[in-house]
Amino acid sequence: MSLLEMSSATDGMSQDAWGRLNLACREQQVILDNAGAGIAFMRSRCIVRCNQRFVEIYGFGSTLKAVGCSTESLYPDHAAFLALGEEAYPVMQSGKPFKTEVQMRRKDGRLFWTHLTGTLVSPGDPEGGSIWIIDDIDEQKHARAQLETVLAEQNLVLANCMVGIVYLQDRTVTRCNESFEQTFGYATGELKGKSSRAWYQNDTDWLAAGHACYEPLNRGLTFVGEMLLCKKDGTPIHCDVRAKAIDPLQPAAGSIWIAMDITARKQAEAALLSAQADLEKQVELRTRELAETVYALERKAAEHEKSESRIQHMAHFDALTSLPNRVLLADRCTHALRVAQRNQQHVALMFLDLDNFKTINDSLGHKVGDEVLVEFAARLKSVVRDQDTVARLGGDEFILLLPETDAAGAAMVADKLLRATAPFFTVLTHELAVTPSIGVALFPEDGSDLDALSRCADAAMYQAKEGGRNGYRFFTPELQARSDRKLLLGNALRRALEQGELELHYQPQMSLITGATVGVEALLRWTHPTLGSISPAEFIPVAESTGLILPIGEWVIRTAAAQLADWLAHGVEPITMAVNLSAVQFRNPDLPKLVRRIIEDYRLPPHLIELELTEGAAMTDPASAVAVMNELHGLGIRVSIDDFGTDYSSLSFLRRFQVYKLKIDQSFTRDITIDADDKAIVGAIISMAKSLGLQTIAEGVETPGQMEYLREQGCTEMQGYYYSHPLGADQFEAFVSRPAPLQ
């Protein structure tokens, strides 16, 4: 109803009533125009009146355009229009306002949401029209729909999120997702309204977290950190925590926290760390073990190398003097000779031997002897050049190998050697004179290999010794012949025993007192099938140097003993059997045993066996010589000193060795009738022997004059061609059986 219609309907009203109505109508219009909602009065589903807001909502442009329009056009379609009518009128007719939210259509065709409230003007009369209040809630509706979508999405996220999310206000849970509850072991909904203290281990942690987290939150920053929290049952739980204030300007709006259980990761990390540490420890251990093993191996290798080189050294060097030994010498010699051959040069090989070393060693002991050798070696080395080799063969034997050295050079070196060894050797408290004898052989003249040269140098050295010692000799053709013969005899001698080429001759010994044959000396004879008869003076040294003297000597003692037993058995008056002993035999500790066995074998009275020994032989090793002498003496065997007067002798020696008889050397006997000196010497020997209670026998007596002199001097026995040459066994038997011719 328009105001015009109202004015016509109020015709006939009083002025006052009219005025009041008019005012009311104006007031109503103001209200309508200023109402926030659209208001329309409808009748028969047509717009009768409406306010400005209504016009705006539907887009009519003006109220005039709206009035009279069918309300159907306000609906999206005809069906909606009918549906609303069917729904609304029954409610309105019951006197209640009809309220609904429904979509309607604007003039431009756009649909929009409205909130409708419809009321019948007179509930009993639907034709009387209705009043509708329309709220345009399209925006609100959209916003709400959007909000709902957001919330739905949020809930979806919260519900399905794997991480725990909690909303806190004033550190109290307003909301949280299931994941958060599950993470911390709570039932659904259990945490709501609870303080966040619930998942801290203690108050201190909780307060500390409050300080640490809220400070960045209040500044609008995100807190990110790892925290050790705890579950409802107290189990510790490592969480990765992120938090942000919902609105930093309004702390009261709260904050959102995202917590992710990283315990497993932490444990894995810790396990990894410990595994890594373990691994590192293992590696370190292994490394150490390896290092130790390597060290041990290296040490082993070094030891091995050391012992190897020690073995090498031992194999090539003399232990005492550290000089090259025979093996190394052979090596160097081969090399030197090859070079000399190629370059047509000379090589000199020298043999050196200490003249009195045995005496030093025996009388002062091995320690002194060793020191002497060391010092001697040092002096040799000091004289020669670098390319020369000084080798020690053992004992007191040294060899010098001098490459590129001819006879003149060798002589020069030999002189130097003699000069170098001339000064006294001071060892411990002893001042010792040590002189060498030197033999020189030259390549290529004397030989083409070490063996040949050695033999030559050895022969030359032997010669030097014979020539008075402390000097040197070159090998000569004459020496060559001698050494050749030595070699020849050595080889032949080997077969002599088994071939029965050896024989004993017996030289009678006469008592100068009774003129009777009182003894006999067994003298060895060798008749070689082609070489003929060879003197013992020549072959005995060969036998000694080859060691053959031991079996030969044993054969001599046994044969002589057998012969004596035979003679005795044949009725020969008891006589002594004198057997010559070489130094080599005397050094053999088995000698007394051997002699005893032999005299036992032939049942001989021991005093009939006399062993002849030169002073030199006894002196090579006086200590053991005394022991052997004592043993022999104990057996009742007699010992005489052969060639007495030619060597060094002392009274104490004669006493210590319990000597029975002295054999005056034939060199003295020979000249006693013509040489006053020899006469005097022989006289002195005899009287000295007498004073010591020793027997004397003169050797080499060839003339009656000699015999007479000896008898005058009181010599007890004699032996020599004058009385008898050495005889064969049978001849001797005949000799002793005849009446004594010499008186």
**Site residues (vs ligand C2E, CB under 6 A):** 507, 522-524, 535-537, 540, 556, 580-582, 642-643, 666, 699-702, 720-721, 726
- CA distances (Å), origin 711, targets 13, 265, 680: 221, 129, 14
Closer CB to ligand C2E, 592 or 700, in the complex: 700
- Structure-token pair, residue 359: 């005496």
Q: Which of Ca ion, ligand C2E, none sits in contact with 610, Cβ below 5 to 8 A by type?
A: none
C-beta of 416: minimal distance to ligand C2E in Å? 38
642 binds Ca ion (CB under 5 A): yes
Using DSSP, state whether 131 is helix, strand or coil: strand
Closer CB to Ca ion, 51 or 614, in the complex: 614
How many angstroms separate the CA atoms of 489 and 495, rounded?
10
Closer CB to ligand C2E, 370 or 702, in the complex: 702
Contacting residues for 485 by C-beta, under 8 A, at least 6 apart = none
Residue in 516, 519, 512 with CA at minimum distance from that of residue 709: 512
Closer CB to ligand C2E, 264 or 537, in the complex: 537
Residue that is written with structure tokens 């932490």 in the block? 266
Sheet containing 236-245: which strands, arranged edge to edge?
172-176, 164-169, 255-261, 236-245, 223-230
- Residue type at 587 in one-letter notation: R
Determine the size of the site formed for Ca ion (CB under 5 A). Answer: 5
Q: Which of Ca ion, ligand C2E, none sits in contact with 537, Cβ below 5 to 8 A by type?
A: ligand C2E
Q: Which of ligand C2E, Ca ion, none sits in contact with 353, Cβ below 5 to 8 A by type?
A: none
- Structure-token pair, residue 644: 């007495």
Q: Which of ligand C2E, Ca ion, none sits in contact with 700, Cβ below 5 to 8 A by type?
A: ligand C2E
Q: Which of Ca ion, ligand C2E, none sits in contact with 523, Cβ below 5 to 8 A by type?
A: ligand C2E
C-beta of 373: minimal distance to Ca ion in Å? 34
C-beta of 623: minimal distance to ligand C2E in Å? 22
Q: Where are the alpha helices (DSSP H) in 170-231?
A: 178-184, 203-218
- Structure-token pair, residue 637: 């065997």
Whether the CB-CB separation of 241 and 258 falls below 8 Å is answered with: yes
- Structure-token pair, residue 150: 């957001």
Whether the CB-CB separation of 609 and 580 falls below 8 Å is answered with: no
C-beta of 538: minimal distance to ligand C2E in Å? 9
Whether the CB-CB separation of 709 and 675 falls below 8 Å is answered with: no
- Residue type at 277 in one-letter notation: A
Residue in 605, 607, 616, 503 with CA at minimum distance from that of residue 560: 503
Q: Which of ligand C2E, Ca ion, none sits in contact with 401, Cβ below 5 to 8 A by type?
A: none
Closer CB to ligand C2E, 447 or 519, in the complex: 519
Closer CB to ligand C2E, 38 or 508, in the complex: 508
C-beta of 711: minimal distance to ligand C2E in Å? 16
Closer CB to Ca ion, 383 or 578, in the complex: 578
Closer CB to Ca ion, 347 or 523, in the complex: 523
Q: Which of Ca ion, ligand C2E, none sits in contact with 535, Cβ below 5 to 8 A by type?
A: ligand C2E
C-beta of 720: minimal distance to ligand C2E in Å? 3
- In angstroms, how far is CA 263 from the centroid of its own chain? 49
How many angstroms separate the CA atoms of 256 and 175, rounded?
9
Q: Interaction with Ca ion in 437-496: which residues (CB under 5 A)?
A: none
- Structure-token pair, residue 452: 């040949």
Which position among 51, 509, 580, 588 is part of the footprint of Ca ion (CB under 5 A)? 580
C-beta of 539: minimal distance to Ca ion in Å? 15
Closer CB to ligand C2E, 196 or 559, in the complex: 559
C-beta of 418: minimal distance to ligand C2E in Å? 31
Closer CB to ligand C2E, 261 or 699, in the complex: 699
- Structure-token pair, residue 8: 């016509």
Binding region for Ca ion (CB under 5 A) out of 4-12, 184-192, 693-701, 725-733: 693-701
Whether the CB-CB separation of 540 and 582 falls below 8 Å is answered with: yes
**Angle CA 320–322–327, to nearest 5:** 105
Closer CB to ligand C2E, 175 or 482, in the complex: 482
Q: How many beta carbons lie within 10 A of that of residue 383, not counting itself? A: 18
Using DSSP, state whether 297 is helix, strand or coil: helix
C-beta of 665: minimal distance to Ca ion in Å? 6
Query: What is the β-pairing status of strands 695-698 and 661-664?
Result: parallel
C-beta of 335: minimal distance to Ca ion in Å? 48
643 binds Ca ion (CB under 5 A): yes
Which position among 612, 615, 678, 717 is part of the footprint of Ca ion (CB under 5 A)? 612
How many angstroms separate the CA atoms of 499 and 615, rounded?
33
Q: Which of Ca ion, ligand C2E, none sits in contact with 582, Cβ below 5 to 8 A by type?
A: ligand C2E
Q: Which of Ca ion, ligand C2E, none sits in contact with 520, Cβ below 5 to 8 A by type?
A: none
Count, residues in the chain: 743
Residues at the interface with Ca ion (CB under 5 A) = 580, 612, 642-643, 699
